[in-house]
Chains A and B, each alone.
Chain A
Amino acid sequence: MAEAPGPDGLGDNAKETASEPEIVLEADHVSLSFGGVHALADVSFQVRRRELFSIIGPNGAGKTSMVNCISGRYAPTEGRVLHKGRDITKLRPSARADLGIGRTFQNLALFGHMSVLDNIMVGRHHLLKNNFLTGPLYWIGGARKEELRHRREVEEIIDFLEIQHVRNAVAGTLPYGLRKRVELARAVALRPNLLLLDEPMAGMNLEEKEDMARYINDLNVEWGMTVIMIEHDMGVVMDVSDRVIVLDFGRKIAEGLPDEIMNHPQVKEAYLGVMDDDDEEGAAA
């Protein structure tokens, strides 16, 4: 549709948010150990509705581990993760998509041999009803109609993220920056109320970063998604975030508004003082 994909694109989502609890996600004393390695130790925080919440910290601080606990890759050794007041600590990762938790990955995780369009359509998985019995019949039983209806919504996301020109390209052949965008599109297609972004701007040039920051801001402000973001680019983090927490060696050392974080003595010591501008691919375990 030519119409700008604003909040309309997620109409029922907006309605949902009206009566939704104020705290979208809560980490309640989360600890995670791999044998003797303590990736996370007693981390607690709350993410409010429609907030853009950033997690920062040096390499190996446990940022990605935290996101993995929320998306279900890892089960916390101790503590609980609550989504809208519901305990999801033990929930299957695939079931969390139904709750509206979408995420992107630090290292690209697209379906390499599928077209961009199909990649994004996979994001619709939990919203589609057709299955291995009705799908093969396609023309009979409404699978075709349903597919086309969702295709229309997917096209809105494609328009919004400006990837129309690569719609039919095979995802694995795309350049890095575009792949990141396709991954965001796939997560958005899931129609999330909570979007987890693991280093969405790593390895991008300034222009791509600016674009990405704009998309994230739009998703947050106009589409009404609550966003949890891990990012190393301090400029971006301080500009777009509502609140920031800082992890260091698996512990939360600070939480607050971007300005407070910037001037926090412990943060300066642990992180900003030894900040490394390079992208940190695959380092944070």
Chain B
Amino acid sequence: MAGAAFRPSGDFRTSYAADTTIFDDAFSRRFVIGLVIVLALVPIPTVFGWGFDILDRYWMNLFVSIGYLSIAALGLNILVGFTGQISIGHSAFFGFGAFASVFIHETTSIPVFFCIPLAGLMTAAVGLIFGVPAARIKGLYLAIATLAAQFILQDFFARADWFSGGTHGSVARPLEIFGYQFRSVHAYWWIVLAYVVVLFLAATNLMRSRDGRALIAVRDHYLSAEIMGVNLTKYRILSFGIASFYAGIGGALFAHHNLFVQVESFTIFFSILFLGMVIIGGLGSIMGTIFGTIFITMLPEATEAVTSFMRGGAIDRALNLGGGLNYLKEMAIGLAIILFLIFEPEGLAHRWRQIKAYWKLYPFSY
């Protein structure tokens, strides 16, 4: 999907393999690999007890939640951005993954390490079932059908005591490998980071191979996709399966981080948040999904920082900012989505490409 990106002169592609790489140039590749290594190094002093933290628990909590949320958001991006469908029930699948992982562990005592991927598969199966309407309906009608998924699953969580613990919720065990418990958020970050890297690579590879292209073809022109041999029913439903798999993994990672899963977490507002991440990050952009997740996760933090900065001032007294902080956070997200839809409908990924292009040519304008 890179298209006609700028490439330094003299950078020739001499094989088809070199023309199908994930990153446009060696610099981007090194940058991303370097970033992942740095992120992996961050928790070391804390975990090994060297007496200091590079980042404290507050920041690591943010990192971890950006990690599992971005995995789930990537699933939604595959569904909405790449296949051109819509789902406003994504948080229900996220929740299903969370409950499923705990459920599998409690009933079969399979180690949590394996429960997470199993929960992903289980959620994928559920997603395939709820994806069946997508074979027949599109657009607004499909949105309503996925809304049904949201409420059916939410209701299921509340009633199915055997599965989710019902209204009491369920207690999750921390992940354990060879007796080492990933109880601290610093250690858990490694698990989340590993999942992020693997699943984002998998999605990138999917999009440069047969079935990923078929998904995009279904989005861009389903009639000619069908003539080209793409089975529309299969790929529309498959897309739901893949999206739910990612949501399930994200949810399972959330469960074993939070160590407690409750029904109230997986509301329709949460589903809208996922849509916000995907829209702000950039529909149909894998990197953009991370940007969007960071944006949506940091926005409430930023709102809080701004209100506490203004505390005691005239504006605060007039509007009671501190008292209405929770509303302010939600308003900020709504406002951000609207502003992005108007001014940058292609999301942060597009802005990022423009910034890169600008610096490639700096100081010349073209």
Residues of A within 8 A of B (CB): 71-73, 92-98, 102-103, 105, 109-115, 118, 121-126, 128-132, 134-138, 143-144, 147-148, 151-152, 155, 168-170, 186, 190
Give 8 new A-B contacts, CB below 8 A, not counting A125-B217, A147-B209: A95-B231, A105-B224, A110-B220, A126-B228, A136-B205, A147-B208, A148-B20, A168-B3
Closest-by-CB residue of A relative to B210 is A128
In the complex, A12→B221 CA distance in Å? 30
Known contacts A110-B221, A118-B216; is A151 also within 8 Å of B20 by CB? yes
A-B CB contact pairs (8 Å), 5 listed: A102-B227, A122-B213, A147-B20, A152-B16, A190-B228
Q: A12 vs B23: C-alpha distance in the bound complex, in angstroms?
A: 36
- A residues in contact with B221, CB < 8 Å: 109-112
* A to B contact number (C-beta, < 8 Å): 132
Contacts A72-B227, A94-B230, A126-B229 given; indicate if A135 touches B3 (C-beta within 8 A).
no
Q: Which of A125, A128, A136, A170 is the most central at the interface, judged by chain B CB atoms within 10 Å of its CB?
A: A136
A93 contact set on B, CB distance < 8 A: 226-227
CA distance A136 to B212 in the complex (A): 9
* Contacting residue for A71 out of B211, B227, B232, CB 8 A: B227
Residue of B nearest to A71 (CB): B227
List B contacts of A105 (CB < 8 A).
224
Also in contact, A94 and B203, with CB within 8 A (given A114-B217, A148-B20): no
Interface residue? B202 (CB, 8 A): yes
Q: Which residues of A contact B216 (CB under 8 A)?
A: 111, 113-114, 118
A140 CB to closest chain B CB (Å) equals 10
From A72, A95, A98, A110, B224 is in contact (CB under 8 Å) with A110
Judging by beta carbons under 8 Å apart, are B229 and A190 in contact?
yes
- Closest CB-CB distance, B21 to chain A, in whole Å? 11
Query: Is B242 positioned at the interface, with any CB of A under 8 Å from its CB?
Result: yes
* Chain A residues whose C-beta falls within 8 Å of the C-beta of B228 in the assembled complex: 94, 97, 122-123, 125-126, 186, 190
- CB of B231 within 8 A of CB of A122, answer no
Structural contact, A135 and B227, CB atoms closer than 8 A? no
Partner among B1, B19, B212, B229 whose Cβ is within 8 Å of the Cβ of A135: B212
> When chains A and B are docked, how far (Å) is the Cα of A150 from the Cα of B127?
32
A270–B340 alpha-carbon span in the complex (Å):
56
Which of B20, B211, B217, B242 contacts A111 (CB under 8 A)? B217
Distance between B108 CB and nearest chain A CB, rounded to angstroms: 24
Instruction: Determine whether the beta carbon of A98 is less than 8 Å from that of B229.
Output: yes
Which chain B residues lie closer than 8 Å to A148 at the CB level? Answer: 16-17, 20
Residues of A within 8 A of B214 (CB): 122, 125
In Å, the complex CA distance between A195 and B107 comes to 57
Q: Chain B nearest CB: distance from A155 CB in Å?
A: 7
Is A122 touching B211 in the complex (CB atoms < 8 A)?
no
Contacts A71-B227, A114-B220: A125 and B210 contacting too (C-beta < 8 A)?
yes
- Asked whether any CB of chain A lies closer than 8 Å to the CB of B4, the reply is yes
Docked pose: A155 CA to B20 CA in angstroms: 13
